[in-house]
Structure 1
Amino acid sequence: MKHLSLLLLFLSMGVSHARVVSVSPGPLLRVEGQPVSLRCDVTDYEGPREQDFDWTMQQGEAGSINVISTFEPKYSDVSLSDRVASGDLSVVRLGDSVVELRIREVRSSDSATYLCSTPSTDSVFSGNYDAGVALKVIANTLKVAPEAPEPVVPEGGDITLSCNVTRHFTDPTYLSVTWSLRRPGIPLVDILTVGPDGDVVIGSASAQRYADGGLRLAIRRDGAFGLVVAGVTQADAGMYVCTGREWIHEEGGQWKNIVGKTVEMGAVAVTPTARSLSVVAKSNTTLNMDDTLTLTCLISAGNLASLALEVTWLVDGRTAVSLGRDGVVSNGSPSVGLERTGPGEFRLVVRGVRGSDKGIYSCRVRAWVGGGGRWYQAAEKTSNPVQVLVTQISE
């Protein structure tokens, strides 16, 4: 019986409560002017479900300073009372046994070790009743300096977006940059991000474009981040924005954003291809039977080099021959051909003309922009009519 009593005593001691107070893992690095939250929770305690908490701060060899309490209204040190009254310093309950110390705009003078304490409500003093975390506050040296893009870009052209993100390196922090586009009536849309670990994150609306090569990164030697938006369309017009962020790698391998800054780069307008596209056919001609007909289609546009052209010669409104944007001729024959002879210059050749080849000729051009899987027709225009006459020489 004696041995059984001892066993029961040891078992009762084994299951007794041992209070555990824990705080946010640290040390913590934060930037002045930013909000800070320090979490404190208590477990394995006895007594009331709702527990109370005291926060103090220790700076160097100086004595501890009372910050705030959940149950003593006049707990705060006089040097902090104005900040408590204004709400810059507060304690917020997240549950019966969990609170957060919140600093709305942290100051460099807030660098300290913060101690969270819980008054005992246990029948036996057991466990730990306080826990601390070190907080270091550094100056906000983050700078975001973008270069203004070209304000007007032709449809199918490129937009180059350069943004320099820097900070004074006094502590192990990392940088990221995000390019975004703001259009009237549409929320800001992220295009692409270079993360603090160098990984590239593509906005959901830009994934296919990136895969097709329509978005290209160009990191310059001076450290500036560059993004090229290729084959622009009307949907690419708007205000471009660059956001730089500073990060730390916290305990547990998690990235923590400690400060960010967003700067407008500049508005970009996209000139429609239809506005500058010009198509001219040359010229009226009279031929004899069996002669060779040569007609030239001249095409000009403000963004000609960025366009993929589909050219069709029509005779009395019917298709005679076509040259696709891929350079493949359709409806041609050994006697009828169509070729590109220069930038914006396409030549129709009909050998051994017959009387049936007479009529009204015109050149229809469809201009395409894009690339990969995102081609779209930007404009279509038909030239002036050209009359072709074929005469038969009488013997």
Structure 2
Amino acid sequence: MASMKTPLFLFLHWVLQCAVCRDVTLPPGTLYRVAGFQLSVPCVVSGYEGPRTQDFEWLLYRDDAGGNQIGVVSTRDKGFPYAPFQARVRNGEVRVERDSGDKVRLVIQRLRADDQGKYECYTPSTDTAYQGIYSGSVVVKVIPDTLQISFTRSLTGQPVPEGAELTLTCSSSIRSEQLTHLSIMFGRRGGAEAPGSGAGGGEVSTVREIISIDNLLGIVPGRSYKKRYDDGEITLEKRNGGGGQDVYLMKMRAVQPDDTGSYFCEATQWIRDPDRSWQKIAQRTLDIGNLTVQQIAESLSVTSSPRGEVTQQIGSPLILTCEVLGLPSEVTSGLLVQWMKRGSVSSDDVGSGGVEVEVARMSTDGVVSWGDDLSRASGGSLEKVAEGRYALKLFSARPSDTGVYRCVVSVYAGRTNPSPSTPATLTQKSEGVTVNLKTKDVLVSVAAQLPRGPLLKRGSTITLICNATVTTTGPAQVQVQWLRWPIPAPVFKRGQGSAADVASPEPPVVVKPTQVAALMYDGVADIYVNGSEISIDRLSAISYRLRVHAATMEDQGMYACHAEAWSQDPHGGWYNTGVRAESKAVTVYLYARAADLLLIPLVVGVSSALFVGIVIIATVTCCFMKSLANQRARK
């Protein structure tokens, strides 16, 4: 049994010692790298004693050197490199880059064919006892450079109009006995002001990746171009070319001012190392040329005609023309054309009255829609009369058409059918056209009256008459509307209480009136009050009647009649002349009914009689009980 314990003890002792033994780790080989490009081999030491910053020495065993070692570079001895590497170490082409105290990388900037062989990473001991692994090695194979890249057409640097399509081609190929992959990237270099630079600050060159096909043949847009790629405005495709080369085509559907810059194509050769990681082993960049984008804003102009001010008769056709100039002929762009109007006949100032509203628009696909005034859809048109010319026609002008008109054009450069979320490239307005319409001489007079009759009581029918006359030439109609204000509370003069000293009521205009009913110019009646039974009709050519049936206390108030004159244009259409008048207010007061007047005395009388009867009965009963009590007391 004792013979078994001794070997077991020695084994456990060795395991515990090796748990803290030095170990040097390099990536598994063989590593294939391309001549003329960079070699980077990491080396990590662990389980060591001593300082955290360890030294490293790299040695090379060439295939044709018969196993002899060649000193490459050392972190502690500047004289360590052998003759083949001394000059390369001095100029930095061969160096050791330290990632941390115990992790470094051997970097050979431009690999040569005779750099092929087995590389050993040795770490001089800093341990109290020499135990563990102090070096590691990896085999590096140098393969020839077969990466080729070219283009068929370069950018000339001539200005390209905004919205034009841009197509860039790049051809590339590799021939290798090893399994390698190829990736292609299109990018742009441009000047941008350095962040935070003030006066005297220069410009820094920015490199932006536009789109690429990665080593796994996936298409990857650049971060700044992802939205345009998702919208289908940037594409990249691979085609088979001649001579074993593949052709890559990048298209920008509509260039923007920000696309100005120097364009290049970059081809990268990749290989998968034994540790399953992808490594970049060769790369070439080819400049395609410079692109300058000429902005549409520099040439676009939008004009409207007739210019300045136009005055014409109501009912005559109104024609306004919008002309768009300066669009590049080689670019097909979508146009959104809108006619906007500010001011109306009801405005004191034609040019500034109200907000600007849309009259009509023609979308990029030619569909015409009208603004809030939908009646114009049958009384007008918006047409494209020529390339870049759009005409707004109102077949019969109305007083409400008075105002300042502007043509607003939104350009979608290079996009004939943009989505609703696509912003316009540029929006420009024309100068304003002031439209004045001559109206007929129209005079409106109106008076309201309450016909004589019995006193109005709750439940009676209120009858009001409105007499409205229009003086004008040609056919005319009146539109009548009844308004009601509450009866103001009486105001007494200070220090006096007689009825003669009661002040006059406040004018009705201080309170917003309630619309009661209206009789439109075409004979249609509109009732606005839902709580009462109301009717409105026309008694004669000038007389209009309002009746409130079964009136309630809420129906009393101050009533006024509002009249508007409507005229007929030469085409038979009716329009509001804008001439209006309002009558003086008529006060309607509802008195109490006879039954209401008798109800209070009756209630008071019955109550008084009951009270007196109760008092008499109580008094008699009290006296009787008192007399009866006295008789019993004598007995």
TM-score by length of 1: 0.80
Segment drifting more, 11-20 vs 41-50: 41-50
- 1:238/1:269 contact within 8 Å kept: yes
Indicate if the aligned counterparts of 1:321 and 1:336 stay in contact, CA closer than 8 A. no
Following superposition, the deviation at residue 120 of structure 1 comes to 7.2
Tell me: CA distance 1:66–1:180, structure 2 relative to 1, closer, same or farther (3 Å). Answer: same
Q: For the residues of structure 1 that align with 2:97 and 2:311, how far apart are their CA atoms?
A: 92
Shift of 1:176: 1.8
Kept in 2: contact 1:321–1:338 (CA 8 A) = no
Question: Within the alignment, does 1:302 sit opposite 2:342 as a pair?
Answer: no
Given the alignment of the two structures, is residue 350 of structure 1 paired with residue 394 of structure 2, yes or no? yes
Q: CA 1:42–1:345 in structure 2 vs 1: closer, same or farther (change >3 Å)?
A: same
SS of the residue corresponding to residue 352 of structure 1 reads coil
Aligned to 1:56: 60
Say yes or no: does 1:336 pair with 2:380. Answer: yes
1:25-64 equivalences in 2 (<5 Å): 25-44=28-47, 50=54, 53=57, 55-59=59-63, 62-64=66-68
Residue in 1 that maps onto 2:591: none
Return the alpha-carbon distance in structure 2 between the equivalents of residues 48 and 335 of structure 1. Answer: 93
Structure of greater relative contact order (alpha carbons < 8 Å, 6+ residues apart): 1
| 2:192 is the alignment partner of 1:188 | no
**Structure having the higher Rg:** 2
Give the alignment's Cα RMSD to 1 decimal.
Answer: 4.1
| Conserved? CA contact 1:36–1:104, under 8 Å | yes
Aligned equivalent of 1:110, options 94, 112, 115: 115
Q: Does 1:165 align with 2:172?
A: yes
Say if 1:293 and 1:349, in contact at 8 Å, map to a contact too. yes
Moved more, 283-292 or 328-337: 283-292
**Residue 279 of structure 1, CA deviation:** 4.0
- Structure 1 moving runs of 4+ over 6 Å: 46-49, 119-126, 282-289, 315-318, 358-361, 386-395
- SS where residue 17 of structure 2 aligns? coil
Change (3 A) 1:172 1:308: farther
AA at the equivalent of 2:324? I
Q: CA deviation digits over 1:327-348, x for unaligned, max 9?
A: 4523252212323456434232
CA contact (8 A) 1:149 1:268 kept: yes
1:234 paired to 2:238: no
Query: Equivalent residue of 1:168, what SS?
Result: coil
Could you tell me how far apart the structure 2 residues matched to 1:356 and 1:11 are? 104
Q: 1:203 maps to which residue?
A: 222
Partner of 1:366: 410
**Structure-2 residue corresponding to 1:213:** 232
Residues 338, 358 of structure 2: 8 Å contact kept: no
- Partner Cα separation in structure 2 for residue 149 and residue 302 of structure 1: 19
Tell me how far apart the structure 1 counterparts of residues 302 and 176 of structure 2 sit (CA, whole Å).
Answer: 58
2:154 aligned to which of 136, 148, 158: 148
Contact 1:158/1:230 (CA < 8 Å) preserved in 2? yes
Report the CA distance shift for 1:343/1:81 in structure 2 as closer, same or farther (over 3 A).
same
> 1:135-156: CA deviations, max 9, x gaps?
1223333333243246322222
How far did residue 19 of structure 1 move? Answer: 4.9
Identity of aligned residues (%): 27
Q: Distance in 2 between matches of 1:65 and 1:58?
A: 8
2: CA distance between counterparts of 1:349 and 1:176? 58
* Residue of structure 2 in register with 1:375 after alignment: 423
| Deviations, residues 49-76 of structure 1 (Å, cap 9, x unaligned) | 7566452313057333322364676654
CA contact (8 A) 2:405 2:434 kept: yes
Q: Which moved more, 1:261-270 or 1:17-26?
A: 17-26
Q: Letter of the 1:131 partner, please give it.
A: G
Q: In 2, distance between residues paired with 1:208 and 1:9?
A: 67
Task: Flag structure 2 segments of 5+ consecutive residues without an equivalent.
Answer: 194-205, 343-349, 441-472, 475-569, 571-635
1:8 has 2:46 as partner: no
Letter in 2 for 1:31: V
Describe the superposition over 1:226-261 as per-residue Cα deviations: whole angstroms up to 9, x where unpaired.
222233322222222322222222233322122222
1:204/1:136 Cα in 2 relative to 1: closer, same or farther (>3 Å)? same
2:322 is aligned with 1:321: no
Between 1:314-323 and 1:148-157, the stretch displaced more is: 314-323
Q: Distance in 1 between matches of 2:124 and 2:399?
A: 109
Change (3 A) 1:260 1:388: farther
- Which residue identity does 1:367 align to in structure 2? V
Is the alpha carbon distance of 1:250 and 1:366 closer, same or farther for their aligned partners in structure 2, counting shifts above 3 Å? same
Check conservation: 2:73, 2:89, Cα contact below 8 A.
no
Q: For 2:437 and 2:77, how far apart are their aligned partners in 1?
A: 105
Deviation per residue, 1:337-389 (Å, 9 max, x gap): 32345643423222234577688866442324464444134241427969898
For residues 158-195 of structure 1, give each alpha carbon's deviation from its aligned partner in whole angstroms, at most 9, with x where no partner exists: 22222223333443222222222222235222222221
Residue 23 of structure 1 corresponds to which residue in structure 2? 26
* Contact persistence 1:53–1:116 (CA under 8 A): yes
**Inter-partner Cα distance in structure 1 for 2:191 and 2:23:** 54
CA change 1:218–1:321 in 2 (3 A) is farther
For these two proteins, the number of residue pairs brought into alignment is: 395
Q: More displaced, 353-362 or 246-255?
A: 353-362
Corresponding letter in the other structure for 2:186: W
